[in-house]
Structure 1
């Protein structure tokens, strides 16, 4: 039944996305090129609306239930969708979007989605007490914005989100968590259907409507799947979302260093850096997909290891990420002329 719902959402998203594209163009919800953006022509956004509608279709079909979390999750998601919709149409201020995210996060916290305590790996419990509420809100708002920040190339946010959802649903299946599995899979089907139109060269962008909604849902689902567990297991969602989290972390450091507002845009994100050293648009997206898939696989291994084994895996993972980033940069710089030559030839072949 769950897999049938996934297929239904996938088909619904494929059918609905072109309709949303026409609607976005009609109401003027378009993304215009500028110095910071990669695309060279006006593009319809609001694609996240197709993801959301397809998700609701799957929800009505499957009707996943959780006594505490269902209504808060849907209400919070609706707030995020409305915020993203108006931002795609009118470009809301960062403060207003941030406030809406806090409200949406607060609703699921009131609904019972929060990390109250964790079991320490070598015995005992650590109770967060009143800090559980702000910590949960920070997590939800942080991941929501992390997905939004990587939405800079065709298919990037949708693909990375899909990999995260595959990992979350897979681990939920192993834990026997039917609710998280169901919600993650219908969201996955909706996102993959949209990705059919969003992968390079994209025909429509998801906009903040999609990026904020995916970030919000992934943040909440990851908490629901790993709350009140061991300290080691609590690190699992961090590993699953390693790519957007690390990109957001370094973006914050850059902006603090240069004394800029945290909401200030720049062209120093991971995908910008990979493009700069010579990788093509498609190569950059696929490379980041591979990084996200490695994080997902690492999360599986990490969750099944002993405490000491998990710590060792975590250290190895951090070292591997550092080496990969450095090697990619060196390879890109060393073979930059060759990469640009190959990409130019590919463009010529496409033109013919």
Structure 2
């Protein structure tokens, strides 16, 4: 499955590139973007077609399959419309909500979780809106990090590798099969998308990868323990944290949530002196760290899980302050550390 979709993606991407150029479906450079030349941006279509080829040949037997396919068609159509016509954010959001609603109607919903110290939390009527919020949120999180060559495809691949590994451990053949198909398709495209990129995936690819990762994480970790529910959040630590701090940043600056800026993680790394390739590799490394943490988290005791969450939260906060992900002046923990360091220096001088 992995190899077939990989080969299909490798063969299809140059064809999609020619189609993009022929019909002028390109990403034009501007003040917010790193690239300086026109770039074909319909690469996500190659990822999707490669995935469909895998589906047609292997045909995973699961009642969720038809809803997954229909929902992915809606998300692909939404992405293609945006890549071709630059539709407004509200119409793009509508397409995502429709795709998420189709998935929910097919059983991709979070009905309850088992609490760590006993008991069960039923979501009831909140099940549907919470599930739609999760799907739309993860879909947009992947889309938001698609700012450097190979970034979204690489981070998505790392997440898919982790989901595949954990599905294998749980014996979930359906999630494993779908994850490997999407992974192979993404990796084949990454050959052409890694720096210096020859083609962009566009919203077509970013929305599709985000949508599939959201659904696979729901299938793999739904209706189990509270801490198991956190596992996909840790796996997707890079896009989720980047999106979270982007929301915080815009609320502080009193800007619309959809307003673009140059303070995303990849922008801040490059502003700190990293090259294009180095910034991508650093974020890959962070994504691998989150994935390893998720695997450890899944095997830890309740108290071990809590300790890991606290440590991860502190590491993320310090990193956010160092790179200026919220703002250049947001450094509460660093200021406390600097204050204590200054106090120690003063004590030494007095002694």
Deviation, structure 1 residue 262: 1.2
* Structure-1 residue corresponding to 2:250: 255
Rg (Cα) greater in structure: 2
1:159 matched to 2:154: yes
Q: Write the distance in 1 (CA, Å) between the matches of 2:71 and 2:322.
A: 41
Deviation, structure 1 residue 33: 0.3
TM-score by length of 1: 0.91
SS of 2:239's partner is helix
**Superposition pairs of residues 278-293 of structure 1, within 5 angstroms:** 278-293=273-288
Equivalent in 283, 286, 300 of residue 295 of structure 2: 300
1:24 matched to 2:20: yes
* Structure-1 residue corresponding to 2:4: 8
- Deviations, residues 262-292 of structure 1 (Å, cap 9, x unaligned): 1111100000000001100000000000000
* Structure-2 residue corresponding to 1:241: 236
* Structure-2 residue corresponding to 1:348: none
1:145 matched to 2:140: yes
1:122 matched to 2:117: yes
Q: Write the distance in 2 (CA, Å) between the matches of 1:62 and 1:191.
A: 18
* Structure-2 residue corresponding to 1:55: 51
Which segment is superposed worse, 90-99 or 303-312? 303-312
Quote the RMSD (CA, aligned, Å).
1.2
Gaps of 5+ in 2: 329-351
Q: Write the distance in 2 (CA, Å) between the matches of 1:325 and 1:146.
A: 17
**Superposition pairs of residues 152-191 of structure 1, within 5 angstroms:** 152-191=147-186
Q: Write the distance in 2 (CA, Å) between the matches of 1:134 and 1:257.
A: 26
Deviation, structure 1 residue 259: 1.9
Deviation, structure 1 residue 324: 4.2
* Structure-2 residue corresponding to 1:98: 93
Q: Write the distance in 2 (CA, Å) between the matches of 1:264 and 1:29.
A: 23
Q: Write the distance in 1 (CA, Å) between the matches of 2:44 and 2:322.
A: 35
Q: Write the distance in 1 (CA, Å) between the matches of 2:78 and 2:128.
A: 22
* Structure-1 residue corresponding to 2:128: 133
Deviation, structure 1 residue 323: 3.7
* C-alpha contact (below 8 Å) 2:157/2:183 kept by paired residues: yes
Aligned residues: 325
TM-score by length of 2: 0.91
Q: Write the distance in 1 (CA, Å) between the matches of 2:301 and 2:249.
A: 36
Q: Write the distance in 1 (CA, Å) between the matches of 2:92 and 2:308.
A: 37
* Structure-2 residue corresponding to 1:64: 60
SS of 1:274's partner is helix
- Deviations, residues 73-119 of structure 1 (Å, cap 9, x unaligned): 11000001011111111101100000010010001101111110000
Q: Write the distance in 2 (CA, Å) between the matches of 1:111 and 1:235.
A: 23
- Deviations, residues 234-258 of structure 1 (Å, cap 9, x unaligned): 1000000000000000111111222
Gaps of 5+ in 1: 334-352
Equivalent in 30, 36, 41 of residue 40 of structure 1: 36
* Structure-1 residue corresponding to 2:105: 110
Q: Write the distance in 2 (CA, Å) between the matches of 1:275 and 1:44.
A: 23
Q: Write the distance in 1 (CA, Å) between the matches of 2:280 and 2:193.
A: 12
